[in-house]
Structure 1
Amino acid sequence: MALANLLLAVSCTLTTGIHQATPWELRLAALSDILHLGQRSTLLQRSSFVRNLDYLIKFRVCSAYPADAPFEVLLNEVTIQKELEYKSCFEYTGDLHPGDNVNFKVAGLASGSFTIDKLPQEDATLVLVVYRHDRASMALSFMSHVFAKLSGPQVALLDAYQGTASSLVEIQPEDEEESAETLRFNSVMALDEARYKVLLHVGNHKEEARI
């Protein structure tokens, strides 16, 4: 109570005019400043170790849909790619959230939509491939894949073909003609860092690409 009365007296004295502080009042003011500084320091320390972790999510969208007209791709209602051509891809590195819809339009008309269910809690590359649902309709289907966080390269082989012909895919190092390995459709393979040839066999026809 004595301390409260003293502080009240100091306050009243200071509000009435110029006042020459006594050594005791100066010590009280210094003690008050130290207490407030300690409180501010504690708050700063408590907030300094709480921070948001920002993961780098690369969202790669590819079209395996055979059509002359390109897709317009929207994330919810915002266009993120004006023209996505057949056999082409693009990458989006903006904000993504679970529940976001990736919408596809052709000539301004809605064609299909893919909903992002959940996102990995680490740096990752998400791949979304749009392709034709079947040969009898124009409907869209989607395949998606999340590449694991590995130090080396990876290859995902997704089958978007709707025909009846059978095919075989092989991969081999560019400088080794006798060491080809067969790739399974809808699978992922981790590779050593190198240049590779990918061979597609359809009957007697063969196509080659390099990665």
Structure 2
Amino acid sequence: MRQGRTQLLTCLSLLLISGCTLLPEAGPAPLQLQLAPLGKSQESRAKHYAADTQTLVVERPQSTPALNSRNIWYQPAPNQLMPFRDHIWSEPLPQQLQRISVDYLADQLSQISVHQDRPGIDATYRLSITLHTWHLDQLAGTLAIALYADLLTAEGKPLARWQWEQTETLSEISAPGMAAASQHWVQSWLEGLPEQLERVVAESGR
């Protein structure tokens, strides 16, 4: 009995000394996925605006806590959401959408200066985006998206609201397939946004 207790204490001491050998490795780190930019980055873009140029600030999109994480979500059954185990976003989806939106809109809007929301920017307009849904629907084999965007004045007066509740067909039922569908949807979404923004801005200035 005493000998068994001594051996147990010796094993515990060795485990404490070795530290990281106490628990096994969980396996390789998850593969990180990200959305590709659609326009030039702010660093590579050089535009000169008149002193009275209007400014559009794109706020960081609001979202649920789940979408504000780096998890990539799928729906295996109604009212259930699960994160992919072997894949994550390189950064939270709202952060990616903000950066991609700013760079793309800055390329497309020639008479409006576009910036990320940060201290020191004097905004004429603010674009507020809210993500409600962004997951892979396993049963339907689609990417499900619900997104809202509000164009506001600097004082917070609403000028326009747009909403999108759509699905995108997946090339494969997987996290990479969802990322590819997300890329396609974001491109289609952004391609229609500059015209809508310019129309509302023109009407508000009359």
Q: When the two structures are superposed, what TM-score results if normalisation uses the length of structure 1?
A: 0.29
Indicate the structure (1 or 2) with the bigger Cα radius of gyration: 1
Higher relative strand content? 1
Q: Which structure carries more relative contact order (alpha carbon 8 Å, separation 6+)?
A: 2
Higher relative helix content? 2
